[in-house]
Structure 1
Amino acid sequence: MIVVTAPTGQIGSRVLGTLLERGEPIRVIARDPARLPDHVREHVEIVKGSHSDAAVVDEAFAGADTVFWLVAADRRAESLEAAYLDFTRPACAAIEKHGVSRVVGISALGRGFAENTGYLSASHAMDDLIAGTGVAYRALTMPTFMDNILWQAGSIGEEGVFFGPLSGDLRAPTCATRDIADVAAGWLLDRSWQGVADVPVLGPEDLSQNDLAEIMSDVLGRPVRYQRVPMDAFRATQLEHGRSKAMAQGMVDMMAAKEAGIDNAEPRTPAATTPTTFRQWCEEVLKPREW
């Protein structure tokens, strides 16, 4: 039995689809089961609720050998510890209680790069918490997602511009969520591995923000440019979008670490390189959106 958390999100839904195609027995944890497609609800066991809830994970992990773990951090959380560690502690207790064999989790690059890297440090602390249960654990460690561009699709479509606090010429890896999901599904279906390790997922190439703008311009057939904003303005935008002060600061600290090169610290290897290029992603995901 494989338990899938966040089954309606970009990554979780694709993981779930792949597992269903393979005929695996699956149990999902869903706050709103109605958001699951009908054909999915017919073929999975459903535990309703949040995977931060002790009673929910206790029910979901009973009889399970493998868990897919993804924390979508609450932007309104009072602290990064609350968003990642407090959220995960009930699951760790259930992992130990029910003798779960393997966990595949969504994390971030840059372990050991610096003491305070905001969301990234919180992800690494979450990994340590899970690994501390004694379960075999694979933390998929990622740079920035290509799909994050969609948060600024309106600005790109209406004004031909997207914003961020990073240097325009800083090249770094970027990956597509569908590739992350495919890597995760591969580990979930492989029951031969043991121990604890990070699994970098780096996409196929390193690109700067200006590179992204050039590719978007070409694919969309109209000019798109990148505008760097001061870190204070970036923090203010995060607050305007509903993040608590602590979570907004976590975003600022993460971006400062990215500017310092945290996403470039992991050597690119064939095993860490995933197939979807940013151009392909723009053609297949960004361009079809209604502008």
Structure 2
Amino acid sequence: MITVMGATGRTGSRICHTLLEAGVPVRALGRSAERLAPLAAAGAQIAVGEPNDAAFLSEAFRGVEAVYTLLAYGPDTEDYRRQQAAQGEAITQAIGHSGVRNVVFLSSVGAEVSSGTGPIISMHDQEQRLRAVPADVNILMLRAGALFENLYGALEIVRAYGCYSDAVAADVPVPMVASADVADAAARALLDRDWRGVQVRELLGQRDVSYAEATRLLGAAIGLPDLPYIQVSAEELTGALLQAGYTPSIAGCYAELAEAINSGRVRAQEQRSARNTTATSLEEFSQTWAASYAALG
């Protein structure tokens, strides 16, 4: 059996279905029995609890061959660093108490940097915690590039203003990857368990893409090939996110992340290879994005 945290999320749900299709028993974790119900119907054992509850996680990790872990948050998170630390500490305690020997952690490109990286800092902190677990536990850090799905945040902006805007500089190349490809890499790792000790693997997408190029591709998919990308200041981004309902903690994280990307603090560490270059292109994703745009009406 394999335990999957965040089983109702984009990566977790796909991992669960992939494992079940491979004939592997799955214990799917989440906060809502209702949202976990489709996985139960597909054959997964479900467990409902909080990701910062070490006792709950210890029981969920006990007796399994491997676990998939991640740190969840939302735009309404009041104190990002504190909330992430609570989850991270619960996960590491559960690993120690449960006796599980194989752990995959969804991290991020840039997690090697110790400060000034916005939301990525929590993944740096968690990587450090995981490096301190018992030496007989095999830990795989999957450092993903920026998810294509983050671009769904552009839907309402494009419809309302006829452009896309962010604080990332227009021409800075960014490794971008589909969440499905991240999930598939994690599922393969959970099945193969082909690493020992602590290892890091990056997942970088088909190629690095600038925000200006991404905007052009999304625009072309909806018949607006000249859709402009407009860089705003970190302060302007923070203000827009606050107006959209994000907490100051999360808005500040995203503004700091943009500055980290612009300065080059957040960048891939590995040379591109068959292992870290994933299958889905932004051109393919733009068609899915365009369908969501059309659904706005």
Q: Secondary structure at the match of 2:142?
A: strand
Q: Give the length in aligned residue pairs.
A: 290
The AA in structure 2 aligned to 1:183 is A
* Aligned-partner Cα distance in 2 for 1:34–1:261: 42
Structure 2 match to 1:259: 262
Deviation of the 1:74 alpha carbon: 4.3
Q: What CA deviation, in whole Å up to 9, does each residue of 1:19-58 have, x standing for no partner?
A: 1111111111111121135364351111112121123212
Distance 1:116 1:57 in 2: 30
Q: Which amino acid aligns with 2:63?
A: G
Displacement of 1:72: 1.6
SS of 2:291's equivalent?
A: coil
Asked if structure 2 preserves the Cα contact closer than 8 Å seen for 1:31 and 1:49, the reply is yes
Partner secondary structure for residue 168 of structure 1: coil
Q: In the alignment, which residue of structure 2 is the partner of 1:201?
A: 203
Q: Any idea what the Cα deviations from partners look like across 1:227-253, whole Å, max 9, x if unmatched?
A: 111110111223334443333322222
- Letter of the 1:252 partner, please give it: A
Report the alpha carbon displacement of residue 193 of structure 1 after superposing the two structures with TM: 2.1
Question: Is the Cα–Cα contact under 8 Å of residues 3 and 28 in structure 1 kept in the other structure?
Answer: yes
Q: Which runs of 5+ in 2 are unaligned?
A: none
Give the TM-score normalised by structure 2. 0.90
AA partner of residue 55 (structure 2): A
Task: Report the CA distance shift for 1:269/1:98 in structure 2 as closer, same or farther (over 3 A).
Answer: same
User: What residue number does 2:133 align with?
Assistant: 133
Instruction: Quickly say closer, same or farther: Cα 1:38–1:252, change in 2 above 3 A.
Output: closer
What is the match of residue 103 of structure 1? 103
Q: Quote the offset at 1:77 in angstroms.
A: 4.0
1:278 and 2:282 matched: yes
Deviation at 1:62, TM superposition (A): 1.8
TM score, norm. by length of structure 1: 0.92
| Aligned CA distance change for structure 1 residues 288 and 39 (closer, same or farther; 3 Å) | same
Partner of residue 91, structure 1: 91
**Letter paired with 1:208:** S
Distance 1:118 1:211 in 2: 23
Which segment is superposed worse, 28-37 or 108-117?
Answer: 108-117
Cα distance in 2 for partners of 1:260, 1:206 equals 16
The aligned runs of 1:22-41 (5 Å cut-off) are 22-36=22-36, 38=38, 40-41=40-41
Give the stretch that moved more between structures: 10-19 or 35-44: 35-44
Counterpart mapping for 1:233-272 below 5 A: 233-266=236-269, 267-272=271-276
SS of the equivalent of 2:46 reads: strand
Aligned to 1:169: 171
Report the 3-state secondary structure (helix = DSSP H, G, I; strand = E; otherwise coil) of the residue aligned with 1:273.
coil
Show structure 1 runs of 4+ deviating over 6 A: none
